Amino acid sequence: MTKVAAKPDPQQWVSQYADHLYSFAMVRLDNEEIARDLVQETFLAALERLDQFRRDSTERTWLTAILKYKVIEVYRKRNSGLSADRSKQEAEPEPEFFEMDNGHWKEAYAPRVLGVEDTDPLEGKELMAILRLCLQKLPALWLSVITMKHLDEEETKVICQELKLTAANFWVIIHRAKVNLRACIEKSWL
């Protein structure tokens, strides 16, 4: 038998869910002011749609889903200023990193072992700090795509629809973002 979620209690939302929602937004946006604003907007939107909460999920899951769409709206706004010329540039291949015949890394560009396979918590914290810095250096569109794909685990089709990208453009952006992140981490970590 399926367990039905309890009736929502908006008076408890801030004390029960604000920290979780704030953390969710911060990981994806890395901007305290925007994260706080989105959490507030999430609570307001949930209050406005309280009658639409079917109790198929927990309040936390429902609120997180609302916040997730608010984060996507921020991604769209950040990326809306991109010109059509730039999106054409994004789709150009980068043959200098890969073998043309098989698509594998050229030896000079192949990823190196970072040496963080250990489970040392201090090294993990240092690596996460470097990763955050490297993510901040990415263009807004690349950051949006990487975040949606690897943090939110969205399907490629959904990301392309939400950010108005072609599939080819999406894969080029993912590739370039990963190459840039790898180079940044190698430079900063090793």
Dist. CA 71–CA 75, nearest whole Å: 6
Kindly state the average pLDDT of the residues 169-178.
Answer: 89
Does residue 40 surpass a pLDDT of 80? yes
Kindly state the average pLDDT of the residues 51-61.
Answer: 84
Does residue 143 surpass a pLDDT of 50? yes
Does residue 20 surpass a pLDDT of 90? yes
CB-count exposure of residue 100 (10 Å: 0-12, 13-18, 19+): exposed
Scanning the structure block, which residue is given the tokens 């309280």? Answer: 50
Identify which of 65, 78, 84, 92 has the alpha carbon closest to the alpha carbon of residue 30: 78
- Helix runs in the chain, H state only: 13-29, 32-48, 59-79, 84-90, 121-136, 140-146, 156-163, 167-189
Question: What pLDDT does 85 receive?
Answer: 43
- Domain edges within the chain: 10-79, 84-189
Mean pLDDT is lowest, of 69-73, 77-81, 89-93, 185-189, for 89-93
CATH class name, domain 84-189: mainly alpha
Select the more confidently predicted residue: 119 or 148. Answer: 148
**pLDDT digit string, tens, across residues 29-39:** 878 999 999 99
% pLDDT > 90, the chain: 17
**pLDDT digit string, tens, across residues 120-130:** 666 667 878 88
- Helix (H/G/I), strand (E/B), else coil: 168: helix
Reported confidence tier of residue 84, pLDDT bands at 50, 70, 90? very low
Does residue 88 surpass a pLDDT of 50? no
Question: What pLDDT does 39 receive?
Answer: 94
Mean pLDDT is lowest, of 117-121, 122-126, 133-137, for 117-121
Question: What pLDDT does 75 receive?
Answer: 84
- Given the candidates 1.10.260, 1.10.3470, 1.10.10, 1.10.1740, the CATH classification of the domain at 10-79 is 1.10.1740
- Helix (H/G/I), strand (E/B), else coil: 105: strand
Averaged pLDDT score across all residues of the chain: 79
